[in-house]
Amino acid sequence: MIVVWILLGLILIFGIGAIVSYNRFVSQKNLIKDAWANIDTELRRRYDLIPNLVETVKGYATHEREVFEEVARTRSMASGATGNPAAQAAAEGPFMAALGKLFAVAEAYPDLKANQNFLALQTELSNTEDRLQTARRFYNANVRDYNVRVQAFPSSAIASMFHFELAEFFEIPESIREAGPPQVSFAAGAEVPAAPAVPAAQAAPPAAPAAETPPPVPPAPPNN
């Protein structure tokens, strides 16, 4: 009889542990879902800023059509990839590279620093990038904790029993992560690159040679 009670106690403990583990998996999956929603919100905000940014730069660099078309194309691809972390991360690489080219074009036009609309858009984009990186770190931290439980025993048994699979990280390509978000400084007082120095030989025409001094006139002989 004691053995039966021991077995019943073990079954009860296992059942309670399984329920707690299952509920924790559900809670973690919902937390990952909410964290991804925050990333998606920041991505959408950034995508909405880009057309206005492009139009502002166009006013100063109308001939850079290839850059504008590349930004529009990669933005469309990245915007359509939201919802899948792996596909989204793959689409972010070309988009961020195109955005970097757009800022490189902007840097070649110092008059943009007087454009308040551009400054406001650049500041909002920079703030959005900061919020996006914070949201990405929060999401990946939750994915890491969840994946550890999926793979570690004894929670792995519950994960296998109820088909809890590994979640995907949102990893930005290494080259983009090392470079960081595109930045451009249009702060007042920023130095404009100086014009190339003119060689001394070309700076001014050679000076005319000085007029020759006539030889001294010999004194007249004295009168006797």
Residue 214 in any domain: the answer is no
Residue 170 in any domain: the answer is yes
pLDDT at position 223 over 80: no
Residue 45 in any domain: the answer is yes
Distance CA 51, CA 177 (A): 23
Question: How many independent structural domains does the chain possess?
Answer: 1
Distance CA 166, CA 149 (A): 9
Average pLDDT over residues 77-95: 85
Average pLDDT over residues 96-118: 83
pLDDT in tens, 139-163: 999 999 999 999 998 888 988 989 8
Average pLDDT over residues 87-108: 87
pLDDT in tens, 3-21: 777 777 778 888 888 899 9
| pLDDT score of 2 | 81
Average pLDDT, the chain: 77
Average pLDDT over residues 166-185: 62
Greatest mean pLDDT among 30-34, 51-55, 111-115, 191-195: 30-34
Q: Which of 13-27, 33-47, 110-124, 163-177 has the lowest mean pLDDT?
A: 163-177
More confident residue, 185 or 70: 70
Residue 39 in any domain: the answer is yes
| Cβ-contact 67, 98 below 8 angstroms | yes
pLDDT at position 84 over 90: no
| Cβ-contact 158, 19 below 8 angstroms | no
Position 180 confidence tier, pLDDT thresholds 50, 70, 90: very low
Q: Say which CATH number the domain at 104 has.
A: 1.20.1440.20
pLDDT in tens, 31-69: 999 999 999 999 999 999 999 989 888 888 878 888 899
Nearest to 99 by CA among 129, 76, 75, 126: 75
Residue 198 in any domain: the answer is no
| Domain span at 142 | 27-186
Distance CA 2, CA 10 (A): 12
Residue 101 in any domain: the answer is yes
Residue 219 in any domain: the answer is no
Residue 118 in any domain: the answer is yes
More confident residue, 222 or 6: 6
